[in-house]
Amino acid sequence: MSESLRETLRGRLHALGFDVVRFASAAAAGDPGLRDWLAAGHHADMDWLARTAELRLDPQQVLPGARTVIVLGVNYWPGAAIGGEPFARYALHSDYHDTIKPGLVAAGRVLEELGGLGAMDYRYYVDAGPVQERGWAAAAGVGFRGKNGNLISREFGNWMLLAAILVRAQVPADAPLAAQDSGRTGLHCGKCRRCLDACPTAAFPAPGLVDARRCISYHTIENRGFVPRELRAAFGARVFGCDECLAVCPWNRFAQAGRSALLARRHDLAALGLLELLRLTPERYRELFKGTAMKRTKLTGLLRNACIAAGNVWQSGAAGSAQERAEVSAELLRLVRHESPIVRGHAVWAVWRVLGAAAGAAALTATRADEVDPAVLDEYDAGAGPVPESRAG
């Protein structure tokens, strides 16, 4: 494909709603650090990452004959700084996997039209396949790898969702941001370490490396079990994901409001309060979260996360009216009898936090006598003792 035809292709794909359209050679090296990251156990129990590691490192195993990777970016910055949200910003939309996919389908038709390709000559993914979108994005000059592990754009800051199309056609590659060390972590970070210092749970063992075992996003989204007790206090009011290491990045000063052509904002989700989350029923859960990314954590996970948030927000002695505290306490005591031991255990932890030792012991006596799950019993026995430090060092 000529450079002239490449630019026609770029324009057509941009018109579909993609804010960034860049091209990388499929021969470019993958991320050699992936194997070390997996060997260190930083992926926690996300075993699919280990199972697909070799595919992620070699696009030929994903699409034999692939010659080009088209990297597509969708900016999701809402246009205003919104702080204190219980949800990661990307989650305040209909599920982006679903809304971006039609754009990828249309992009495939454009490739067939302009490049003379067949349907088997390309394969697309949006954050859900065995490809390293961030590595290809850095190679194509979309941005650079930040110390927070994210792909940082000089146009859109940290607020970009990535998709990739592997193609059996040679498209002239775009230049990376730097001819040398384009994949180096912190290429344009300088001495800045705001993201590393801001992480509430000290989840960065080194710049660019995220240890999922300490990451709030992992625990509130992917973890299906108990959240380590020593980390819970650092979650604050977060219920789904965490934007802290993204939000503090100075490169966000260049962020622009997204076109939202491939996104559907859900304004109702941003208005949800903790009490409403604690009161979720299966029916209300389906009504609220159907078609959103938050369905991934399931009702049990959201209730667990809401219990942790309630225990932090209404911790004994913290701000809040007596009426609020009474309502929250009543919901937590109801959840102490929930069918899921995951919910029960975190509700017990939150009761200790909200009511304190004496009142908590009195309120939990009856349910303690009925409990049989060892992990939940451990939460009862932990009591309202001192909260361990959540940050390293």
Which residues lie closer than 8 Å to 193 by C-beta, 6 or more apart?
147, 207
Q: Please tell me what DSSP assigns to residue 68.
A: E
206 pairs with which residues across the strands? 209
Contact residues for 42 (Cβ-Cβ < 8 A; gap 6+): 205, 209, 210, 211, 212, 213
Compute the distance between CA of residue 295 and CA of residue 94 in angstroms, rounded to an integer: 10
Catalytic, 58? Answer no
Helix (H) or strand (E) holding 308: helix 298-313
From CA 344, how far away is CA 332, in angstroms rounded?
9
Tokens, residue 276: 């409403």
Catalytic residue among 127, 197, 370, 373: 127
Q: How far is CA 140 from the centre of its chain?
A: 23
How does 336-369 read in b/e, with b if 16+ C-beta sit within 10 Å?
bebebbbbbbbbbbbbbbbbeeeebbebbeebbe
Whole-number Å distance between alpha carbons of 106 and 31: 29
Residues classed as catalytic: 127
